[in-house]
Amino acid sequence: MTIGEGALLTKISRHFSPSASEIAEIKKLLGNHHEYAARIELLEDSEVLKAVLILNSGWGYSFRDLPNGLRQIIDFMIPGDFFGLRGIFLNGPSLGFASITAVDAAAVSPHSLLAVSRQWPRLGGAILWSASLQGSIAEERLVALGRRSAAGRVAHLLLELSVRLEFIGQGSSSGFFCPLTQHDLANALGLTSIHVNRVLRRLRQLGLVVFRNSEVEFLDRSGLMDIAHFDAAYLGLGREASRKIFGR
């Protein structure tokens, strides 16, 4: 099993336990894959997306560029994530997609995904579940941008990423590898890089979290949750499961 297959299968297994035939179909979906260098734009936000990307390994992000030259990061993508699912039903320009680390991504035509959904209804349900999860993350990010403090935004995003990485076995309750720069965080959270730096320094001084050398270390995860008003239920976890993950 490849790294990419492992991430996607682990994520799908949150929805159901795939059979041997379904696992074989997933491997076929991931067959047309390519490697890309770090920090490049794979797709501009003015392009019409002709395929859905499935991230096998590495980190990337979706974005929209504004006429004033500013960039809004919509979501960070990790292994097992889909990019461009809305293009199955909606025409026109998509969001852009850029790599953060070197990535390996499979390109799947919308026709192929629809065919898989018809032939393998449970896989179709898992794809729909993934799309719904991405929508839920976008909704929560909108709340953060509109109503959370700067510290709350940063804390919430770090906690969210930790849960998503735990879904695929690439994070733990104590921390996770995080290749994001302060500039990335600023573009995602509607802040400046200087403001993000101040927030991270303050969270460290409060003994809550340390983010340095591409590693996030939780010192007081429960305290960080309080600042963020974080409830992992929007990530597909019930409240009881959320409390269990965070030891509350």
Q: Which token pair is 240? A: 């009881």
Angular region, 64: left φ>0, alpha ψ -120 to 50, beta rest: beta
Q: Give the pTM.
A: 0.91
Nearest in space to 57 (alpha carbons), one of 111, 10, 114: 10
**pLDDT digits 0-9 by tens, 139-194:** 999 999 999 999 999 999 999 999 999 989 898 889 999 999 999 999 999 999 99
Cα–Cα dist 15/25, whole Å: 16
Which of 139, 156, 185 is at the close of a domain? 139
Q: Pull the structure tokens for residue 214.
A: 């591409």
Q: Are residues 153 and 127 in the same domain?
A: no
The mean pLDDT of 93-99, rounded to a whole number, is 88
- Do 135 and 153 lie in one domain? The reply is no
Q: Given 139, 166, 193, which residue is the final one in a domain?
A: 139
Structural domain span for residue 87 = 3-139
Q: Give pLDDT, residue 239.
A: 43
Contact (CB, 8 A) for 202 and 211? no
For 37-83, what is each residue's pLDDT tens digit?
999 999 888 777 788 999 999 999 999 999 999 999 999 999 999 99
Angstrom distances, CA of residue 181 to CA of 9, 65, 185, 210, 232:
29, 18, 6, 14, 24
Q: Where are the beta strands (DSSP E) in 3-68?
A: 33-36, 41-43, 52-57, 60-65
pLDDT-derived band at 1 (thresholds 50, 70, 90) equals very low
Looking at the structure, do residues 12 and 114 belong to the same domain, yes or no? yes
